[in-house]
Amino acid sequence: MDARILTAATSGVVAAALGTAAAHVVAALVSPSASPVLAVGSQVIDATPTPVKEWAVATFGTADKPILIGSVILVTLLLAALAGAVRPRSPFASTALLIVLAALAGAAAVLRPTPGILDWLPAFVAAVVAVATLDVLSPSDGSAWPTARDSPRGSITRREVVALGGTAVAAVALGGAGQALITRGRAPTLALPGPTDPLPPLPAGVSVRAPGISPFITANGSFYRIDTALLTPRVNPADWSLSVDGEVPHGFSLGIDELLALPMVERDITLNCVSNEVGGPYIGTARWLGVPTRDLLARAGLTEDPRNPDLQVLSTSTDGMTISTPLSALLDDRGALVAVGMNGTQLPQAHGFPARLVTPGLYGFVGATKWLTRLTVTRYDAARAYWTERGWATDGTVRTQARIDTPRDGRSLSPGATAIGGVAWAQGRGIGRVEVRVDGDPWRRATLGLEANVDCWRQWYLPWEATPGRHAITVRATDGTGAVQTDRQASPFPAGATGWHQITVTVTD
Ligand SMILES: Nc1nc2c(c(=O)[nH]1)N[C@H]1C(S)=C(S)[C@@H](COP(=O)(O)O)O[C@H]1N2
Ligand SMILES: [Mo]
């Protein structure tokens, strides 16, 4: 490519990069999620059709967010390259393109569910900085964009290299500074009360004696994380409140101290994501500490379950996310919680600090609202939650599943004594049996770890004499009602994956 056009295009790229980075710093100071890249990214998440989102989750897993951010930056810089390239010919078109880009970012920011009053500012700064920078950087001698007739193929001057390189370095430094500002500091801490009626420690027997199986309790740091937030909300507990409202006799609102003063219970509950593929990682078990949702709804005057399947509780998070839970699931005996503690500590920021919903027996997308701030009793036909609008099921009952944790799929093993093991779950119904099949052999019953309660997964293992060759190992579970897990393969959308987990191993001596 002609060096003059390349220089002009590069000017556009570094000018836009500097504008975006400056906006990131301003956003860090006024409203982090209004940063142009993050605001556009969030709008893209919300607008992405469900099949595309499912494909992205299946393909990239939890790397989908960095990949999204990278794509937003890439597209922005490509358009900025165009703005730079046309500038020598048409400064007006160039400036207009940059302003349109910034305006789109500003719109993305102010159209978020919970915008702040200064959310337009970062995009405004981006526009001013990018346009001014491009004006300074642009070659003004009209030498770029040569026509076929009169082009002495230009070259890039030393001065330009220094100016472009310097601006690029400044953009990276500024962007890094903004990012550091956003993530600086530690999350606020809460002094959690103890449970009013503490749970005894789990019996050792919930864990079976076989290495390689997921620990019964998932450490907070290894607990899967799924949400739509590009920046996990950092909630200041002093500014936080929980409202219980809607079709209740007397709605109310609580501050964090009032919530923490209520009787607290502890419960061991396995939480999993509807987007988990068969054999997938989006599941974990924790000891949650919190206030029963039943107590909160009773305080609002709902002392009895109307048993009306048309009623939902629409819960809202501080970032405007909405999740829909059947009212009965928050009133019945399963013991749903507004949780404030997870495995002996306050909720980590990524898992919903300071308070979240945890509903046993339901997938997270219909029962586990993080950064919870509002519970509204309403009818399903009066308000639609985020995922309901995107075609996901309203009945989010967890489907029976078993997963092989060891040996790992595709592994090579030595022949001889080994163990096949993993976890199985059917929250609400419990696990009654787990069976394993090697190749075409008959099903064999695995040994189960103790059942902590029906809302937790169960570990299982089966000793195996591995013989040389390639083997397919399949597992299936039977729930506490005697229903055998279906082998019919279903994708996670719209109500959770089904099918048996199968792995292949090679045994070589
Ligand atoms: N505010 C908010 N809460 C949310 C979500 C979300 O996107 N935003 N995702 C839900 C989904 S789909 C799941 S599976 C669980 C995951 O909880 P975890 O990240 O603590 O494992 O949170 C639920 N709560
Ligand atoms: Mo989920």
At residue 398, what are phi and psi to the nearest 5 degrees? -65, 135
CA distance 417 to 419: 7
Residue 365 alpha carbon, nearest atom of ligand 1:
12
Residue 284 CB contacts under 8 Å (≥ 6 apart), including other chains: 218, 222, 223, 224, 270, 271, 272
CA distance 250 to 377: 11
Residue 209: count of CB within 10 angstroms of its CB: 13
Residue 272 alpha carbon, nearest atom of ligand 1:
14
CA distance 57 to 62: 7
Report yes or no: 38 and 106 within 8 Å, Cβ to Cβ.
no
| pTM confidence score | 0.95
Q: Which residues of the chain have pLDDT under 70?
A: 139-153
Round to the nearest angstrom and report the end-to-end CA distance of the chain: 58
Ligand 2 centroid from CA 361, angstroms: 13
| Residue 102, helix vs strand vs coil | helix
Task: Determine if the peptide bond prior to 263 is cis (ω within 30°).
Answer: no
Domains annotated on the chain, with CATH: 3-183 (no CATH), 204-389 (3.90.420.10), 401-507 (2.60.40.650)
Do the strands 356-358 and 337-342 form a parallel or antiparallel pair, or are they unpaired? antiparallel
CA distance 156 to 250: 72
**Which mutation among 315, 370, 373, 392 tests ligand 1's pocket best, with the greatest number of atoms within 8 A of CB?**
370
Task: Take residue 264 and report the two structure tokens written for it.
Answer: 């607290």
Q: Which residues surround ligand 2, an ion (CB under 5 A)?
A: 226, 273, 364-365
CA distance 182 to 174: 12
Helices (runs of H) and strands (runs of E) counted in the chain: 11, 19
Pocket flag, ligand 1, residue 390 (CB < 6 Å):
no
Give the per-residue pLDDT at 145: 45
Model pLDDT for residues 408-423, shown as the tens digit of each residue: 999 999 999 999 999 9
Residue 227 alpha carbon, nearest atom of ligand 1:
7
Report yes or no: 119 and 31 within 8 Å, Cβ to Cβ.
yes
Nearest residue (CA) to ligand 1, atom 20: 351
Enumerate the H helices of 48-90 as residue ranges. 50-60, 64-86
Residue 382 CB contacts under 8 Å (≥ 6 apart), including other chains: none
| Residue 314, helix vs strand vs coil | strand
Q: Got the DSSP string for 163-225?
A: HHHHHHHHHHHHHHHHHHHHH-SPPP---PPPPSSPPPPPPGGGS-S-TTSPPSSPPGGGS--
Give the per-residue pLDDT at 209: 86
Pocket flag, ligand 1, residue 365 (CB < 6 Å):
yes
Nearest residue (CA) to ligand 1, atom 15: 364
Residue 318 alpha carbon, nearest atom of ligand 1:
1
In this structure, which ligand is nearest to the CA of 235?
1
